[in-house]
């Protein structure tokens, strides 16, 4: 028995696919499916998070609609996947945030920005907010570095803790396999290259509209995000280890990393959104449009507000722009466990499980 | 959209592997090509949609094939499965050209993958399409369109004008209208007649009403019948078709691979009278897979039941429908609407005849019955551990053998023995030239691609002259 209609439908499809197996060369989902004969909710959640939604199995399927078997694996697994985010949310009560996620992201971001604006106006000395500041330590006349580090450190630690709890629930949902270093290396490589967003080599769902470029845009987004994170980390080291205070000159490492990453974080998410709009709605979960587009826009906003701050940091607009940028980033941090961001977490773990299961199966075959 | 009344160099009838290989080869040869496919766009490609591999000769292992498969070995395999019913010249030609097919088909956009999962036994001889037959078709259609081939769906040939073995025009029904299409050459690649129950009845009688058709409902054999009626030479046994035993609960048409059942060797098979009728352990399953359709067709009401017990449940590939399950043989008989006492007697008698042995379904093991008729020669184990399971099975028709005779140019041969001036055939419609009976995995696709390419090449050459 299954908890939802989507899980029930996923069970029906996996039973069909497991009797066919023509798609086993396309991605990791079908080989993982072949290691099972029955599909409980935990198995289906795992397979759903393993699915990258590339769409190749839909266009290749002889049983897709209008065939009476009506097989649409990407759409059904997208529904199961999005539902699974709720069941792994920590604390469980906050799964509500996934309900109207687009609105949640918007409201929280607006709230964070407002609090920074009010805070700067209220707590900084009169007129500081709209004054021109320049040179090292300019930002910290509005908010001390320690206060900033504490606030964002706490927010990030909370996000990590909440995601760790979600990861734990996901991992223990079914019996965890033993993990070898090779499995971990394989999973990291699968994530880093987005191996399974390639339809097994033919590319993602290629239709009359032309080639799907989600892998490229996702790379820009993912590596852009990592570079921005690296920029922040380097700046923190500069501050505490070298005693160098922000803002840094345009040629310095934090600004270079942040700028390169920031460009990726603008082109990537917008490209992903464009691909999503262009792609057939029949391949996804329409309910998740708010969640997906809100997260993508939040990433763009992080980058755009960062660039605005970089360009206007020596003008009177700096205070407002800093408040807006920090508000967006705080919102992003707080929402990591309750946004589309969790897809990376569960997919990474699913890939790790898949690597371990396949290795165990191979070894079993060799000793049998 | 281009109008119907323009003149084409080549009219290709059909939309599967053979048709598309022909269309592509003709277009590459410089011909203006029209493809008419009777099915709507989703169902395009006939039974190619349900295929997944092609058997090609190769001198050494490739990145997707585990070892060499020489032309001689391929030829020997063909002789084995057909019992010698093949045209040696055409068979040698096909096998020779199949070697080149491994590269040519990739040049048309199709991707190979290594055999995985349950198909490792074919990993040396057969090349698998990444994503299966529909993925292959998608690639071929994209290539054909890029080459300027015009493709019409829902376009069925209803008549052909042929004079003295010369094709003049075809009448195509499309959008409730009839269009006369003229072309310098005709390539018939429209499959067999396995979806035409009335025609099947000519060979099988009323029993054909109980047959399930594993593939496309669009293979009605209309073009084949027209050609044979208009003087094209026939080849192959009109009364025979390739039939396997599939799940009786499958839809009438197009259930495809997922209704297949690979568990005959693990249990016993009984008919409506709850009696066994054939040796379930005669030979290893891939070699006996294709006799069970005909065996079941010969039973009352064309239905049979594979019965096995709990230890066997996970020893074969899963299939679409779950087995029917019961705690006792009597209950199982009740659920299958069989006579309980007879089924008990059949199973008791079978169990008593089973000799001890070491079970191994991958070899001809020593688990057999003694003093039982019919015997179970291998893999016989007592059916004694509940729960008990059953799959109802019916004949599932895969393809038909009757076709048009062709020569080495894939040119149709007329009944009077002369080659047609401008008509060619490829794929299932002429498979009987090479495959007089039997089947070997992936050989239908070899026939389609090889003769499709030859037909396209020859048609383009004819049209240019």
Q: What is the pLDDT of residue A366?
A: 67
Condensed to tens digits (0 to 9), the pLDDT of residues B88-118 reads: 999 999 999 999 999 999 999 999 998 876 6
Interchain contact A60–B (C-beta under 8 A): yes
> CB–CB of B131 and A199 under 8 A?
yes
The CATH architecture to which B243-396 belongs is: Alpha-Beta Complex (3.90)
Integer Cα distance of B456 and B22 in angstroms: 4
Mean per-residue pLDDT for A199-222?
77
Interchain contact A280–B (C-beta under 8 A): no
Q: What is the pLDDT of residue A291?
A: 94
Chain A residues inside the 8 Å CB shell of B251: 68
Mean per-residue pLDDT for B387-408?
97
Integer Cα distance of B91 and B450 in angstroms: 11
Mean per-residue pLDDT for A161-189?
96
Which residue in chain A is spatially nearest to B259 when comparing CA positions?
A19
Nearest to B86 by CA among B438, B454, B452, B392: B438
| Strands B8-13 and B150-152, sheet pairing | unpaired
How many angstroms separate the CA of residue B233 from the nearest CA in chain A?
34
Residue B197 pLDDT class (50, 70, 90 cuts)? very high
Residue A125 pLDDT class (50, 70, 90 cuts)? low
Q: What is the pLDDT of residue B18?
A: 98
Q: What are phi and psi of A260, to 5 degrees?
A: -65, -50
Chain B residues inside the 8 Å CB shell of A15: 318, 320
Integer Cα distance of A83 and A92 in angstroms: 13
Interchain contact A70–B (C-beta under 8 A): no
- The DSSP symbol for B310 reads G
Q: What residue spans define the domains of chain B?
A: 2-238+401-464, 243-396
Mean per-residue pLDDT for A22-51?
95
Q: What residue spans define the domains of chain A?
A: 5-87, 92-356
Condensed to tens digits (0 to 9), the pLDDT of residues B402-452 reads: 999 999 999 999 999 999 999 999 999 999 999 999 999 999 999 999 999
Integer Cα distance of A344 and A49 in angstroms: 9
Residue B1 pLDDT class (50, 70, 90 cuts)? very low
Cα B180 to the chain's mean position, in Å? 32
CB atoms within 10 A of CB B321: 17
Mean per-residue pLDDT for B190-205?
95
Interchain contact A24–B (C-beta under 8 A): yes
State how far the alpha carbon of A34 is from the alpha carbons of A20, A143, B48, in Å. 10, 56, 24
- The DSSP bridge partners found for residue B170 are B160, B181
Chain B residues inside the 8 Å CB shell of A29: none
Condensed to tens digits (0 to 9), the pLDDT of residues B123-156 reads: 999 999 999 999 999 999 999 999 999 999 999 9
How many angstroms separate the CA of residue A199 from the nearest CA in chain B?
9
Q: Which of A21, A37, A200 is closest, CB to CB, to B130?
A: A200
Condensed to tens digits (0 to 9), the pLDDT of residues A41-97 reads: 999 999 999 999 989 999 999 999 999 999 999 999 999 999 999 999 999 999 999
Mean per-residue pLDDT for B199-211?
94
Residue B171 zone, left/alpha/beta (φ > 0; ψ -120 to 50; rest): beta
> CB–CB of B138 and A60 under 8 A?
yes
Interchain contact A62–B (C-beta under 8 A): yes
Integer Cα distance of B360 and A343 in angstroms: 45
Chain B residues inside the 8 Å CB shell of A19: 257-260, 317-320
- According to the CATH classification, is domain B2-238+401-464 in 3.50.50.60? yes
Chain A residues inside the 8 Å CB shell of B314: 37
Q: Where are the beta strands (DSSP E) in chain A?
A: none
Is residue A220 within 8 A of residue A278, CB to CB? The reply is: no
Mean per-residue pLDDT for A133-142?
87
Is residue A157 within 8 A of residue A336, CB to CB? The reply is: no
Q: Which of A24, A60, A202 is closest, CB to CB, to B134?
A: A60
CA dihedral B345, B346, B347, B350 (to 10 degrees): 120
Interchain contact A27–B (C-beta under 8 A): no
DSSP 3-state helix, strand, coil percentages of chain B (rounded to 5)? 35, 25, 40
How many angstroms separate the CA of residue B212 from the nearest CA in chain A?
15
- The average confidence (pLDDT) of chain A is 92
Q: What is the pLDDT of residue A276?
A: 87
């Amino acid at each position: 028995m299954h908890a939802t209609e989507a899980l029930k439908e996923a069970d029906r499809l996996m039973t069909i696919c497991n009797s066919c197996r023509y798609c086993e060369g396309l991605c990791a989902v079908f080989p993982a499916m072949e290691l099972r004969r029955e599909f409980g909710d935990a198995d289906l959640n795992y397979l759903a998070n393993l699915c990258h939604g590339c769409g190749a199995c839909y266009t290749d399927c002889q049983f897709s609609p209008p065939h009476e078997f009506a097989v649409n694996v990407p759409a059904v697994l997208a529904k199961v996947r999005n539902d699974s985010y709720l069941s792994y949310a920590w604390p469980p009560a906050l799964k509500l945030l996934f309900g109207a996620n687009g609105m949640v992201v918007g409201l929280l971001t607006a709230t964070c920005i407002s609090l920074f604006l009010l805070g700067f106006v209220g707590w900084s000395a009169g007129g500081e907010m709209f004054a021109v500041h320049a040179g090292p330590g300019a930002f910290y006349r509005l908010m001390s570095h320690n206060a900033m580090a504490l606030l964002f450190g706490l927010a990030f630690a909370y996000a990590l803790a909440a995601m760790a709890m979600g990861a734990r629930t996901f991992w223990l949902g079914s019996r965890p396999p033993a993990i070898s270093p090779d499995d971990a290396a394989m999973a990291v490589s699968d994530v880093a290259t987005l191996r399974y967003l390639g339809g097994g080599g033919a590319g993602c769902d290629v239709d009359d509209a032309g080639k799907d470029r989600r892998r490229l845009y996702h790379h820009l987004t993912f590596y852009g995000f990592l570079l921005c994170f690296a920029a922040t980390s380097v700046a923190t080291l500069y501050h505490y280890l070298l005693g160098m205070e922000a803002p840094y000159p345009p040629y310095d490492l934090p600004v270079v990393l942040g700028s390169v990453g920031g460009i990726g974080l603008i082109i990537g998410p917008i490209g992903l959104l464009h691909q999503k709009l262009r792609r057939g709605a029949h391949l996804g979960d329409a309910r998740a449009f708010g969640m997906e587009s809100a997260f993508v826009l939040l990433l763009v906003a992080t980058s755009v507000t960062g660039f605005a701050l970089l360009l206007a940091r020596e003008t009177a607009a700096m205070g407002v722009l800093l408040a807006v940028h920090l508000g967006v980033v705080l919102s992003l941090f707080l929402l990591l466990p309750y946004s589309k961001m969790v897809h990376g977490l569960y997919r990474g773990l699913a890939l790790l499980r898949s690597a371990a299961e396949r290795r165990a199966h191979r070894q079993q075959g060799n000793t049998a | 959209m281009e109008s119907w009344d323009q003149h084409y160099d080549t009219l290709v009838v059909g939309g599967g592997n053979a048709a598309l290989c022909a269309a592509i080869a003709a277009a590459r040869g410089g011909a203006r090509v029209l493809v008419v496919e009777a099915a709507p766009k989703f169902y395009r490609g006939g039974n190619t949609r349900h295929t997944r591999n092609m058997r090609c000769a190769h001198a050494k292992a490739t990145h997707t094939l585990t070892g060499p498969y020489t032309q001689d070995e391929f030829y020997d395999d063909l002789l084995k499965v057909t019992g010698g019913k093949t045209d040696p010249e055409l068979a040698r030609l096909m096998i020779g050209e199949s070697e080149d097919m491994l590269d040519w088909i990739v040049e048309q956009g199709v991707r190979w993958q290594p055999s995985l999962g349950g198909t490792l036994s074919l990993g040396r001889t057969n090349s698998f399409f990444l994503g299966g037959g529909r993925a292959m078709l998608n690639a071929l259609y994209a290539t054909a369109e890029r080459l300027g081939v015009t493709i019409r769906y829902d376009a069925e040939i209803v008549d052909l004008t042929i004079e003295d073995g010369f094709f003049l025009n075809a009448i195509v029904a499309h959008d409730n209208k009839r269009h006369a299409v003229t072309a310098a050459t005709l390539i018939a690649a429209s499959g067999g007649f396995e979806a035409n129950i009335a025609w099947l009845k000519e060979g099988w009688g009323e029993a054909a009403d109980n047959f399930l058709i594993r593939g496309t409902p669009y293979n009605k054999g209309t073009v084949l019948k027209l050609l044979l009626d208009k003087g094209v030479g026939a080849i192959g046994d009109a009364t025979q078709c390739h039939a396997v035993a599939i799940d009786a609960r499958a839809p009438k048409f197009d259930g495809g691979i997922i209704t297949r059942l690979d568990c005959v060797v693990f249990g016993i098979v009984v008919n409506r009278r709850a009696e066994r009728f054939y040796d379930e352990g005669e030979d290893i399953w891939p070699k006996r897979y294709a006799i069970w359709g005909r065996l079941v067709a010969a039973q009352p009401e064309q239905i049979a039941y594979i019965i096995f017990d709990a230890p066997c449940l996970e020893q074969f590939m899963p299939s679409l429908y779950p087995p029917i399950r019961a705690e006792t043989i009597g209950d199982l008989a009740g659920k299958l609407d069989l006579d309980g006492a007879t089924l008990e007697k059949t199973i008791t008698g079978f169990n008593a005849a089973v000799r001890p042995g070491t079970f191994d379904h991958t070899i001809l093991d020593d688990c057999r019955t003694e003093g039982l008729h019919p015997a179970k020669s291998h893999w016989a184990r007592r059916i004694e551990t509940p729960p008990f399971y059953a799959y109802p099975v019916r004949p599932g028709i895969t393809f038909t053998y009757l076709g048009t005779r062709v020569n080495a140019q894939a040119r149709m041969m007329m009944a009077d023995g002369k080659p047609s001036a401008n008509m060619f055939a490829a794929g299932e419609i002429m498979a009987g030239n090479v495959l007089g009976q039997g089947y070997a995995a992936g050989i239908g696709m070899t026939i389609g691609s090889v003769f499709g390419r030859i037909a396209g090449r020859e048609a383009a050459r004819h049209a240019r002259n």
